[in-house]
Amino acid sequence: MTEHARLTARETQIADNFAQGKSYQDIAGQLSLAPSTVRTHLATIYRKLGVSSKLELRDAISANAQAQPVDPRIRLPEKPSIAVLAFENMSADPDQDYISDGISDDIITALSRSPWLFIIARNTTFTYKGANVDVRRVAEDLGVRFVLEGSVRRSGDRVRVTAQLIDGLTGGHVWSERYDAELTDVFDLQDEITRNVVASIQTVVHLNTIPEPVERASRPNLTVWELTMRSWHLLYEFTPDAYAHAKALLERALALDPESAEANMLLSLINHHVALMGFLPDPKPAMEAAYALGLRATQLDERNEYAHWAFGISCWGLMKYDESLAALNRAVELNPNCSLAYGSLGTLLGILGRSDEAILNQEIAIRSNPLDPSIFFRFSGLALAHYTAGRFEEAIKWAERAIHRKPGWYMAHFLLAASHDALGQHVEAQAAVQACKRVIPNIDIADLDRIPLYQATRMEELRARLRSAGFD
């Protein structure tokens, strides 16, 4: 086997298990992967080794074991890789280790649920507990790109938790945060901190692990995983060109593996955002494609929270609100740390007129993932919730924040203008309309139908206020 055809550590695990006769499901369960991900890896393994059957795979593995020199350094996995060290108990009482250990355990478990990450098991990382370690050496020893470390300090009935993510290649800080809370219920506290850390890390890691710019990712031998990861990056750009590029990458991924839940899910998201953000004159075909692809992703991997999230938001433009609510609730049930699901559930509850519940979910999403590039959706979701509750001053505040983050997001402009009009602030409402038209010259009240409110009377009232403010 040639140097370029070497398997990654994860691919070697999968190849060995499959050659020994284990099924996709057996391997998926052992390695905490989705069955579709195992199939994707096997397609890459067969291509790298130039084999076409399980017997040929077994022979190739045997030959490689004899010919391959031992590399003293562990190769980085294909996926973004993280080792979570035991959080340090900074309290005077060593009996408080249960808090720091519990938080570390919860974070490892939650991160392990992500199909996009490779996480070192607790039994390995906890061997470093209590030692004065060099993070870069830990990363090298364990073969990971990132190391998460932290500390817990209790003082009376209060606790402070700090966490920081270190790039094992450079030793530089990628992300850090501090959490202060009352120690009223230690389990609630652990859940909250876990949710916040995990949501932020997933976003930060996604944006820091692509080895080359997406615009240069045109080589023909990209794997399904690489194609989908690059599409995640493009999804966050929120431009027509980025989405066209992502669509091409994902079509390549599905040609390699039609049963990839991740590729189906991401193509659903691309179609949804193309329709939602007004990048097509007729959004209906893209909405229907997003719905079909999202449903397909949930069928391929029922336990993938991102698949349920994608399917849930694909329902909005088609007004399939019952299906959306069920899917988004399922996403949160599968992963209580999925900030995107919380935020989208908040938007849906705002669409349904359930304002207080909507605000609660949006606040969870914002608190747990303040670095989310799509946070303008969370801000406009809060604006919508306050608008439907008649709290127009609050709606104005959040709509302005959304516009500041994403000037081209028409829904925030609509809510800003309508809220000013509802307060009788006609000069401000007209100014909001003019500001919107400068950024989105072809804006039309009909664009409101891309995210229709559940109650027809509320939709008519919103349209009337937009016309009164000066929209056509």
Check: CB of residue 28 under 8 Å from CB of residue 20. Answer: no
DSSP, res 451: S
Between CA 283 and CA 203 the distance in angstroms is: 28
In-domain check, residue 93:
yes
Domain boundary among 183, 206, 229: 206
In-domain check, residue 287:
yes
Is residue 24 located within the same domain as residue 95?
no
Q: pLDDT tens track of the chain, all 472 residues?
A: 333 346 666 677 788 888 877 777 777 766 656 666 677 777 778 777 777 777 777 777 766 555 444 444 556 766 778 889 988 988 877 767 777 888 888 888 788 777 667 788 776 788 788 778 888 888 888 888 889 999 988 877 788 889 898 988 888 888 888 888 777 766 677 777 787 787 777 777 766 665 544 444 444 556 787 788 788 878 988 999 999 999 999 999 999 999 999 899 999 999 999 999 999 989 999 999 999 999 999 999 998 889 999 999 999 999 999 999 999 999 998 887 788 999 999 999 999 999 999 999 999 888 777 778 899 999 999 999 999 999 999 999 999 999 999 999 999 999 999 999 999 999 999 999 999 999 999 999 999 989 889 989 999 999 999 999 999 8
In-domain check, residue 250:
yes
Compute the half-sphere exposure of residue 311: CA atoms within 13 Å on the CB side of its CA: 29
Which value, to the nearest 10 degrees, does the dihedral of the CA atoms of residues 137, 6, 19, 253 take?
A: 100
For residue 467, the Cα-to-chain-centroid distance in whole angstroms is: 37
- What CATH number corresponds to the domain at position 63? 1.10.10.10
The pair phi, psi for residue 12, each rounded to 5°, is -65, -45
- What CATH number corresponds to the domain at position 111? 3.40.50.10610
Q: How many domains does the chain have?
A: 4
The pair phi, psi for residue 440, each rounded to 5°, is -125, 85
- Alpha-helical (H) ranges within 315-425 are 321-334, 339-351, 355-368, 375-388, 392-405, 410-422
- Alpha-helical (H) ranges within 283-338 are 284-300, 305-314, 321-334
Number of C-beta neighbours around residue 228 at 10 A: 27
Instruction: Report pLDDT for 186.
Output: 66
In-domain check, residue 75:
no
Give strand pairing partners of 165: 148, 175
Check: CB of residue 261 under 8 Å from CB of residue 304. Answer: yes
Between CA 84 and CA 86 the distance in angstroms is: 7
Q: Which two tokens stand for residue 16?
A: 């060995």
Is residue 236 located within the same domain as residue 331?
yes
Q: Give the domain extent around 183.
A: 81-206
Is residue 375 located within the same domain as residue 290?
no
Compute the half-sphere exposure of residue 354: CA atoms within 13 Å on the CB side of its CA: 13
Whether pTM > 0.85 for this model: the answer is: no
Check: CB of residue 206 under 8 Å from CB of residue 232. Answer: yes
Give strand pairing partners of 159: 154, 181
Q: Which two tokens stand for residue 311?
A: 């399917």
CA triplet 353, 354, 356: central angle to 5 degrees? 130
Contacts of 153 by beta carbon, 8 Å cutoff, 6+ apart: 90, 91, 159, 160, 161
Is residue 202 located within the same domain as residue 126?
yes
Between CA 86 and CA 244 the distance in angstroms is: 43
Is residue 54 located within the same domain as residue 111?
no
